[in-house]
Structure 1
Amino acid sequence: MFVEVPTYFKIPLLLITAYANFITFTPPNPRTAPDEQSKYSTVKYIVRQVRPPWVRALEKTITQSLVIFEIATILATYLPPPYAERILPMLAWRPATSALGVGITSTFLLGTLLCAVGGVIRILCYRALGRHFTFELSLRKDHKLVTDGPYSIVRHPSYTALIMVTIGTLLCLTSTGSWLSESGILGTLIGRLLIVAWAGEVAWIPVVMIMRVGTEDEILRNEFMNEWLEWSKRTPYKLIPGLI
């Protein structure tokens, strides 16, 4: 369902989505040394690493590109007709009038909300863990069990945030009214293959995160023992308070 507001109001919301995606998938600390990952050496690679850095970089590039194309399309619709008629065909695979289908929908607003809230939670997790926050499963030297801030609400709030941003990004950039759905690129074979690969890779992330939760809990329980048990009693939920 489209929301009756000027389309240019979508631009700052798209920028929020792009920023949340960038923050969520950019490591706040350098990669850990092999010896700091040793306690996870028997864990499957896909759970330890989730994605190689180059895949993460490619996903971010595609996501940011989709946002740029959509913003460019919105801005072009406000240009004088002679300029719009030149620029819009370069941004669409269907007739340039398809750009008029780009707009704000309730699905897009839901996606933006998920991205905004998830991005804020992710930043709070970075701050709470500091140098201990790594994208690879690892225990750093002099590692401490952090149980305050967002970690006093659920045990894995950064994963909750990542899942929120991932789902929000897909809702924002693939739903009706998005550049992706209105430009006609999905009508081409190459476009379909690229977008299906991108969306599939993005959608796979929450699945791996859920797989990773149990592994991380087990290692932390073995490492911190009574401290972890006390924390798990105070914070019984892993991802969503009252549910999971």
Structure 2
Amino acid sequence: MPSPRMVLFAVLGTVVYLGLAVLGWGGFGAFFAHPARTALVVITVGLTVASLFSGGNISPGEREDRGNRWVLAVFTVLGLLGAYLPAWTDRMELWTLDGDTVRWLGVAVFIVGGVLRLWPVFVLGRRFSGLVAIQPGHTLVTDGIYGVIRNPSYVGLLAGALGWALAFRSGIGVLLALLNLVPLVARIRAEERLLADQFGAEYEAYRARTWRLVPGLY
């Protein structure tokens, strides 16, 4: 069962995130006037509930790279801006992409991103931490989706942010989603250093035959 701390963290985060989006669109009535935005809320709540049973945590474990904690602050700022600005620009018709097709494409990408974000957490369970850390009993997972890319959950994070922006037809939101690459790459490099130090040749061999995020590209 999820810990009270994780429940509180997940619920508060979701309420703040969705609340900013509703505020950006001018209130509940305006926000829920379009079914695509309603779908975003339903999907977000569903993903939040599912995440509570994934086994993920925010524990520093046995060893942590504390020097990488700055990325959490950057993710938080980008997340808050990403919650509010796409909704606001959608309402103001500022730098928007045309048509409901874009909205529903965004919803679809958001779903894919959410699944990719959570699936690896369920696979890793307690080994998945919000911090760059080695957990008790930590072992490498190198099969399944991890047999192709080393950071599928981060692909999900990017896809989710992009899908959210597109659901609001927001060009600014797309830019914010792409800005997540900066702290994300820094986090990936910190994780790789820690894992290479912990697992040595085993991790180096795994890294040599897989990709960080996108097969054939990065």
Q: TM-score range by the shorter chain?
A: 0.5 to 0.7
The residue aligned with 1:190 is none
Match of 2:44 among 18, 41, 53: 18
Q: CA deviation at 1:21?
A: 6.9
Given the alignment, which residue of 69, 73, 76 partners 1:51? 73
CA contact (8 A) 1:108 1:172 kept: yes
CA radius of gyration, larger in:
1
Structure-2 separation of matches of 1:23 and 1:118? 16
TM-score (norm: length of structure 1): 0.57
Q: Distance in 2 between matches of 1:104 and 1:24?
A: 31
- Matches of 1:163 and 1:170 in 2, distance apart? 11
Q: How much does 1:13 deviate?
A: 3.6
Code of the aligned partner of 2:215 = P
Counterpart for residue 105 of structure 1:
100
Question: Which deviates more, 144-153 or 18-27?
Answer: 18-27
Unaligned runs of 5+ in 1: 1-6, 71-91, 177-195
Q: How does 1:196-211 map to 2 (within 5 A)?
A: 204-211=179-186
User: Which residue of the partner structure matches residue 117 of structure 2?
Assistant: 122
Contact 2:149/2:212 (<8 A) preserved: yes
1:225 aligns with 2:191: no
Q: Which amino acid aligns with 2:110?
A: C
Measured against aligned partners, the alpha-carbon deviations of 1:193-222 in whole angstroms (never above 9, x if no partner) come to: xxx8x9987664332112211221121112
Match of 1:31 in 2: 58
Partner of 1:166: 161
In structure 1, distance between residues paired with 2:37 and 2:168: 13
- The residue number in structure 2 matching 1:213 is 188
The percentage of counterpart residues that share the same residue type is 23
Question: 2:168 and 2:46 mapped to 1: Cα distance?
Answer: 13
Counting only pairs closer than 5 Å after superposition, residues 59-78 of structure 1 correspond to structure 2 as: 59=80, 62=83
Which of 234, 239, 243 aligns to 2:209? It is 234
Q: Distance in 2 between matches of 1:202 and 1:233?
A: 28
Q: 1:83: which partner in 2?
A: none
Aligned to 1:109, the other structure's residue is in SS state helix
